Amino acid sequence: MPLRLFAACLATLLFASMPAWAADDPVPSKCMAIAQTLPEVTYASFTPAQDFVDGDVIITYAGHSTYVVETPGGVRIATDYSGIYGSDPLPRIVTMNKAHRTHYTDLPDRGIEYVLRGWNPDGGPARHALVVDDVYVRNVPTDIRRLNEMERDGNSIFIFEVAGLCIGHLGHLHHRLEDAHYGAIGRLDVVMVPIDGGMTLSIDAMTEITTRLYSSMILPMHRHSTAIGEFTGMMGDGFAVEFRNSRSLKVSLRSLPARPTIVILDGV
């Protein structure tokens, strides 16, 4: 307990040094992290456990990089939405990245209430901090490769804070993360990781990022022809591996695995 209190005090001191777009969020993040120069992160939560909303979050692999997240309050979210996957029933929130046409659409259905692009069409970083019923959605901008050059703030990692869980989608990530990224991301209980091995990042780079995030549950995506064993093997013995014969799973703060687990849903 004293160590946890110390971490909370240290996080309070560090909060002032967070990027302005993170510090100015209208809702304080429950997933705030203290990013260190070493490949470990100490996490602190400012919300007592009794304040967490109870209930299961349902996560479904729809296809490619699209996972559908359904909150206990009934909010449906589709990630890296192109309109091909995750559109039936129609989600209330969609996130997009513009690396390829399979990760966004210029013509989202008008019935979608919130279309969150991982880039800013007007230039500069995208800025999302949105509360819809029982979910808080925010983003951490990252860069993107364009014709062998890097476009600053061209894409985003999206984070969904719901039912006490911190759920992250790494999107079409094109570079290793820096300490500032890890600090802005914070704790991720569940992380969705592209493992194509080249179109985003190498398996080596992606395992480095996944290991540092050290989430309780890792959900691979964007696999293409990469053998699952190539990713799970590089993650090492510290991570359990579990194959499911369903495209969906239920997860809550209380049901998170005690050991970090790579969960491969049907279709991945």
- Give 200's pLDDT tier (boundaries 50, 70, 90): low
Query: Residues 202-220: pLDDT tens digits?
Result: 888 889 999 999 999 999 9
Query: Residues 152-170: pLDDT tens digits?
Result: 877 899 999 999 999 999 9
Query: Residues 64-108: pLDDT tens digits?
Result: 889 999 999 999 999 999 999 999 999 999 999 886 777 789 899
Tokens 């456990």: give the residue.
Answer: 49
The Cα–Cα gap between 221 and 208 comes to 16
Q: Quick check: is 160 in a domain?
A: yes
N- to C-terminal Cα distance for the chain? Answer: 40
Q: How many CB atoms lie within 10 A of CB 198?
A: 9
List of residues 6+ apart from 83 with CB closer than 8 A: 105, 107, 108, 109
Residue 150: give the domain boundaries.
57-264
Q: Quick check: is 42 in a domain?
A: no
Q: Quick check: is 16 in a domain?
A: no
Percent of the chain with pLDDT over 70: 78
- pTM of model > 0.95: no
Q: What local confidence, expressed as pLDDT, does residue 13 receive?
A: 36
User: CATH number for the domain including 183?
Assistant: 3.60.15.10
The Cα–Cα gap between 79 and 20 comes to 25
Q: Quick check: is 37 in a domain?
A: no
The Cα–Cα gap between 111 and 109 comes to 5
State yes or no: pLDDT of 244 exceeds 90: yes
Q: Quick check: is 13 in a domain?
A: no
* Number of domains the chain is built from: 1
Q: What is the mean pLDDT of the chain?
A: 81
